[in-house]
Amino acid sequence: MSSLMRKISTSLVYLFLIFNALLVLGPVIWTILASFKPGNNLFSSSFSDVSFTLEHYKTLFSDTPYLDWYKNTFILATANMLISLVVVTMSAYIFSRYRFKGKRNVLMGVLVLQMFPAFLSMTAIYILLSKMNLIDTYTGMLFVYLTGSLPFMTWLVKGYFDAIPTSLDEAAKIDGAGHMTIFIEIILPLAKPILVFVGLVSFTGPWMDFILPTLILRSEEKMTLAIGIFSWISSNSAENYTLFAAGSLLVAIPITLLFVATQKHITAGLVSGAVKE
């Protein structure tokens, strides 16, 4: 009897998971179909309609500034990833390995800062960037992205560094290694999982963000993918939904591939960074 109940419960769990997978994948499949369907109406794309076309993708590259938006977003996301990796890892290493006056207060301040949602400070951010003449600049966007993610990322990476035994540092010092040598040649290689996670999150933030570019950017030549693709819908009502689907699909492909390629490192980084031994 217990074996029968176990099989029934297992079957119910699988049915539940399949149902949730269909809920998640349904819109994705619909979007993929819409990007290959002729016409402009998103709801004309049915699963029974086998006709398809590549016209929407041709239009993206020939009749729209889609490649410029892609380039702008890629440059912004890559710059944010590189700067975040440098600033976050060095800050976390200092908090993890060094003792200095006010360290506890600074850590508590960082912890408090990450409790406030970023959208609550949008007005203050706009005024601050306006005073600094950083409106309609990527520098202003990078400034906001970096300062917004720094508290959480610093705490996360610090937790990972704390789990690395300090005996490795001491052994390296005995061999004559300096602080920078220990950081670059010992700590960073061991922290590869958490660095992959930080880099990936720092890249996907600007890549998928819509609110901040809308607030800061003004020039059409500086548009990111989120703003550019949305402009098709807002300016032409329902005329460009299939083109929107094609553009959205191309946006999702690099992020999906990155997540698949780094999934093992992401899991290891989250688990190790959350546990202090």
Domain locations in the chain as residue ranges: 2-54, 58-274
pLDDT at 276: 44
pLDDT at 167: 87
pTM score, whole prediction: 0.79
123: burial class by Cβ within 10 Å (0-12, 13-18, 19+)? exposed
Type of residue at 227: I
Distances (CA, A) of 199 to 88, 152, 210, 248, 262: 10, 13, 20, 22, 10
Query: What's the full length of the chain, in residues?
Result: 277
CA–CA distance, 139 with 242 (Å, rounded to integer):
33
Over the chain (277 residues), the average pLDDT of each successive run of 10 is 77 90 84 79 56 82 88 92 92 86 80 72 87 91 88 86 86 85 87 87 88 87 86 64 83 84 68 47
CATH code linked to domain 58-274 = 1.10.3720.10
CA–CA distance, 51 with 33 (Å, rounded to integer):
10
Type of residue at 212: L
The distance of Cα 245 from the centroid of its chain, to the nearest Å, equals: 21
152: burial class by Cβ within 10 Å (0-12, 13-18, 19+)? middle
Is there a contact between 268 and 198 (Cβ–Cβ < 8 Å)? Answer: no
Per DSSP (E only), the strands in 105-147 are: none
pLDDT at 125: 87
Q: Is 64 helix (H, G, I), strand (E, B) or coil?
A: coil
Is there a contact between 35 and 245 (Cβ–Cβ < 8 Å)? Answer: yes
pLDDT at 46: 52
Those residues with Cβ within 8 angstroms of residue 96's Cβ, 6 or more apart along the chain or in another chain = 158, 161, 162
First-residue to last-residue Cα distance in the chain:
43
pLDDT at 228: 85
pLDDT at 73: 92
pLDDT at 80: 93
pLDDT at 42: 62
DSSP per-residue codes, 40-55: S-GGG--TT-----SH
For the packed helices 66-97 and 55-62, what is the interaxial angle rounded to 10 degrees? 80
pLDDT at 259: 82
pLDDT at 84: 93
